[in-house]
Structure 1
């Protein structure tokens, strides 16, 4: 797929450096007619709405704090790894809720009773010690376990009595993921073989399943579990792992087949785990979100969804896919496309708002949720 010549916007563009708290940390009261008393989200950079922005990290992920991140919908960097909104934003919009406030971006006295986002860019599913013990460097010292601890710390401020908590949490919506991508990304980009990384998959799934059980133990009865998007279609993977072998590429879409096979293996085990959880906890409503299925159709038929650039990153450091591990989006010397809505890939590993919107439409209104998301509010 041919890409338009990139153009660099003027860095003299002025935008307000608005504090996240003033944007997100607003107490919102919902009526009894609202679908859920609250929405709680856990995950990584695909759903982070500003937590990493408040963590002092030295990795490339800090670049999310700079222009052009957030340019499309917010006109300034909100901490989202995109030019605008991400999938969880479209989900809460569909249910009539404001954007979820990031847990770390708000003062201690913020009222989180209508929901909060615990997702952190760079987070892993498996406990971080698993990776450090194997000499695998992390972008950030945060895992799904850490996010569960945040929830447990916050819980006493959300409800007073055990009965209040049971009623409140049983009707709230818990979104557990997408998470697990960094458990594979990090070792792969540090030279761990694909065969070795495949051995991590069952442990990632076990971790996600265990997290679901912890939340159920706290009273959760409505839970959405998204799977992974096709990593083998990203500019990062295509740049770092492509080989001059045509059999490496999926003839249907041009993605790297063996890396998408890894993702599909993860997704297969995750779907089986959700089925097992449903059998063990019949009182809980589970919804399996097929982010992969909703995503891969964009690569299979990009122009059908308005995309003119399938694999080239909108924002990056030049090269065949506009991705350079030494020049990430917003770093000195980066290159920026003129219209992100024509691109699927935003910065090499994350997607544009336009792509997230299409994926979200598939899981909210299409056939990529099993059962439908709206089944959670049917009476």
Structure 2
């Protein structure tokens, strides 16, 4: 028998040729798409909504009290070296997300020169705001007003760029939310008699859902959310726990859990109902609790006591000495070693770590910005 290989039959050769040409065409198509993507696609813009976790100074420009402002020392001391209005010693999660997305730090929407950055996005967040209009009403920029401000940016972009290009920016943009904490915190701060029922959580999440659906109607498709932190473990609420000196205030922690379950289920529903709706939900609650319980795992030393404030856990919100709760406050030497900056907010170090987790972790936030 001959050991020579048999020549390919005509039909086999044709099949191989077809497969080869298909693969070549497919790879070429992918390459072309990638090239076009890199050439024509500008960076995705970032529109930020919410409360003091994201407020970069909008409350500097409204008639409110110092309880909802952070435009005095020692706020901002670590990074900016002066107070910007951020409730931290430095940058916030939203600042780091902008940096990772290769965008500049977005100024507060109410800053007189903010329109120069509308092509990159805008920050509408207001310290003290909740999903409910009634939360700290009159002292904050509520979510409905934040939505109105977004619509002003939409009109500005349309006037500058025309309908097509402006719509392209809005549909390619990412919409980031941190909202809800104040709807529950306000009940403790104001000694409200409202008994918390599942209906209350549904109302809070329902109001957020309405805002999201409005943005979807305008063209928004990509959304990012932080769920609520463990509210009862914030120094400002932990200090209220009289039954367990070192324990978290369980009633507040349970409210956050119920809210987060409602938010999780609502987002799953929206994904099914709204065509093209994409979202990323960062588990801020677990991330914060991890650092509170095991600070050393994250290069930190103190998980319960705030860096700035006074009283048990430095839970009295007197940081800076400009608030009606009192002029006395203590300030730690090294904020980088603390989870909490003041009674309710975190240090830049904590925010930086969390933003990195959010960007690279299982919440797939980075993918919202990808081409």
TM-score interval (norm. to shorter): 0.7 to 0.9
Query: Could you say if the C-alpha distance between residues 245 and 72 of structure 1 is closer, same or farther in structure 2, counting changes exceeding 3 Å?
Result: closer
Higher helix share: 2
Structure 2 CA distance, aligned partners of 1:32 and 1:118?
A: 28
Report 1 or 2 for greater relative contact order, CA contacts < 8 Å, sequence distance ≥ 6.
1
Structure 2 CA distance, aligned partners of 1:76 and 1:139?
A: 27
Verify the 8 A CA contact 2:184 2:255 in the aligned structure 1: no
**Partner residue of 2:290 out of 294, 297, 317:** 297
Structure 1 CA distance, aligned partners of 2:294 and 2:100?
A: 25
User: Deviation digits for residues 66-95 of structure 1, max 9, x if unmatched?
Assistant: 111001110000110000011101111111
User: What secondary structure sits across from 1:225 in the alignment?
Assistant: strand
Q: Offset at 1:281?
A: 1.0
User: What secondary structure sits across from 1:110 in the alignment?
Assistant: helix
TM-score by length of structure 1 reads 0.81
1:354 aligns with 2:349: yes
Task: Name the counterpart of 1:78.
Answer: 84
- Structure 1 alignment gaps of length 5 or more: 1-29, 132-136
Structure 1 CA distance, aligned partners of 2:115 and 2:210?
A: 30
Q: Offset at 1:320?
A: 2.2
Q: Offset at 1:165?
A: 3.1
Task: Name the counterpart of 2:68.
Answer: 61
Verify the 8 A CA contact 2:108 2:114 in the aligned structure 1: no
Query: Could you say if the C-alpha distance between residues 127 and 53 of structure 1 is closer, same or farther in structure 2, counting changes exceeding 3 Å?
Result: same
Task: Name the counterpart of 2:185.
Answer: 185
1:88 aligns with 2:94: yes
Q: Look at both structures and tell me which one has the larger radius of gyration over its CA atoms.
A: 2
Task: Name the counterpart of 2:314.
Answer: 322
Task: Name the counterpart of 1:195.
Answer: 195
Task: Name the counterpart of 1:345.
Answer: 340
User: Deviation digits for residues 214-236 of structure 1, max 9, x if unmatched?
Assistant: 00011001111221111111110
Q: Offset at 1:42?
A: 0.4
Structure 2 CA distance, aligned partners of 1:197 and 1:329?
A: 36
1:206 aligns with 2:201: no
1:308 aligns with 2:309: no
Verify the 8 A CA contact 1:93 1:99 in the aligned structure 2: yes
User: Deviation digits for residues 311-337 of structure 1, max 9, x if unmatched?
Assistant: 1110112x2212325x34443322110
User: Deviation digits for residues 176-226 of structure 1, max 9, x if unmatched?
Assistant: x21011111112211125733764211110011111100001100111122
Q: Offset at 1:103?
A: 0.2
User: What secondary structure sits across from 1:187 in the alignment?
Assistant: helix
Q: Offset at 1:365?
A: 1.5
Structure 1 CA distance, aligned partners of 2:368 and 2:131?
A: 25
Query: Could you say if the C-alpha distance between residues 139 and 333 of structure 1 is closer, same or farther in structure 2, counting changes exceeding 3 Å?
Result: farther
**Partner residue of 2:253 out of 260, 273, 278:** 260
Verify the 8 A CA contact 1:184 1:197 in the aligned structure 2: no
- Structure 2 alignment gaps of length 5 or more: 1-37
Structure 2 CA distance, aligned partners of 1:52 and 1:85?
A: 16
Task: Name the counterpart of 1:157.
Answer: 156
Query: Could you say if the C-alpha distance between residues 152 and 202 of structure 1 is closer, same or farther in structure 2, counting changes exceeding 3 Å?
Result: same
User: Deviation digits for residues 326-372 of structure 1, max 9, x if unmatched?
Assistant: x34443322110000111111100111111112212211223x1xx1
CA RMSD in angstroms, aligned pairs only: 2.2
Structure 1 CA distance, aligned partners of 2:351 and 2:277?
A: 28
**Partner residue of 1:335 out of 326, 330, 354:** 330
Verify the 8 A CA contact 1:68 1:330 in the aligned structure 2: no
User: What secondary structure sits across from 1:278 in the alignment?
Assistant: helix
**Partner residue of 1:52 out of 59, 63, 70:** 59
Give the total of aligned pairs: 328
Verify the 8 A CA contact 1:46 1:86 in the aligned structure 2: yes
User: What secondary structure sits across from 1:69 in the alignment?
Assistant: coil
Q: Offset at 1:59?
A: 4.0
